[in-house]
Chains A and B, each alone.
Chain A
């Protein structure tokens, strides 16, 4: 049985840890509301872009490089979305595990994956292991703004648009955590580029070669320029969507992890308090036995 002083010290330190965990849990809980608001604010934009892309698809056979990439360039880009801070349970580690899986699969398929990482935890993980990283971003993983999405999508689109002999990539995969609900978050791998656009079945248009037919839509200045303007925005808004979902998952993971940690700390404190009481009682009993024993011995002497 440990000394009472040591037990008291451990109880005090666990108590302060518990306070920290509890505070973190509350912070995460308040961030959830913010994350939801940011996601709701970005949704109309995403929807509008999606509608525009659907319109474009239904009017023409798009042969834009974002949709179709020619040649067999083995280089592909992988973007992993991790957290900036720890204290989020298995959030970053499950992303890293999935990323490693994907990289191994791509290697097997004869591709040459290039790794892009967002989030300080992921960056430091790979830096520590001396893995070559194509590009990294840090900061604001809990509240990714448009600027971050812009920086990431610009870098990735640049890499994608480069010709193969200049170090371009032919595909882009994103590893992120899908937010299903507060309790369940799932790691997902998404192929972002080339964009797969599913054509609306009802929106079958007449043969595009029939040039005499009045187009239903006017594209200004021209279809190609509209495509050039809309498709990168589409990709960016998709990436932003992934970032927002990852942020919501991160916050939810953190809240769950901190909730469990708080409970564990409380259990530990109860356990330690019991041990402390037992050890105090033991020392009292021992003292009493000693006093009674010695008093007994004195009484016997006098007889």
Chain B
């Protein structure tokens, strides 16, 4: 597939403001049946997500984690869009490799 690169575009938006956007090499989302990892080149998917932590890993390994409420994600053409009701950055909270606190 052409879209299978090392990175993908990520765009996280909440109902009243954009939360985060940038490039990432992996994203962990709280999907309806548990955590779901998304890597670049994932098959196109539209999935419902539930409340929980969302972790974005940037290409340099830096992790950002967000607390999101219910919403959905859509992945297409190597672009991940996370649409949630409310989302906020979890600041100063250490996260281990799995993203589970």
Contacts and interface: CB of A to CB of B under 8 A. Distances in A.
Interface of A: 38, 41-42, 44-45, 48-49, 51-52, 55-56, 145-146, 149, 216-221, 225-226, 229-230, 233, 236-237, 240
B17 A226 contact: no
B18 to A, nearest CB: 5
B12 to A, nearest CB: 9
Nearest to A236: B15
Given A55-B76, A229-B72, A237 B46 contact: no
A145 B16 contact: yes
Contacts of B72: 52, 226, 229-230, 233
A276 B46 CA distance: 75
B43 to A, nearest CB: 6
A233 B46 contact: no
Contact of B45 (A217, A229, A233, A236): A217
Contact of B83 (A49, A216, A218, A220): A49
Contact of A237 (B11, B15, B32, B45): B15
Contacts, number: 80
Given A226-B72, A233-B83, A41 B46 contact: no
B81 A51 contact: yes
A219 B83 CA distance: 15
> Taking chain A's interface residues, is the majority helix, strand, or loop, or is none over half, making it mixed?
helix
B74 A55 contact: yes
Nearest to A47: B13
Interface residues of B, number: 24
Contacts of B46: 52, 55-56, 217-220, 226, 230
A151 B82 CA distance: 23
Contacts of B33: 220-221
B74 A52 contact: yes
Contacts of B11: 44, 48
A263 B46 CA distance: 56
B14 interface: yes
21 contacts: A41-B16, A41-B18, A44-B11, A45-B14, A52-B81, A52-B83, A55-B74, A56-B46, A216-B44, A218-B45, A219-B47, A220-B31, A220-B32, A220-B33, A220-B47, A221-B33, A221-B48, A225-B32, A226-B47, A226-B48, A237-B15
A42 to B, nearest CB: 6
Contacts of B15: 42, 45, 146, 149, 236-237, 240
A237 B84 CA distance: 12
Contacts of B13: 44-45, 48
B48 A217 contact: no
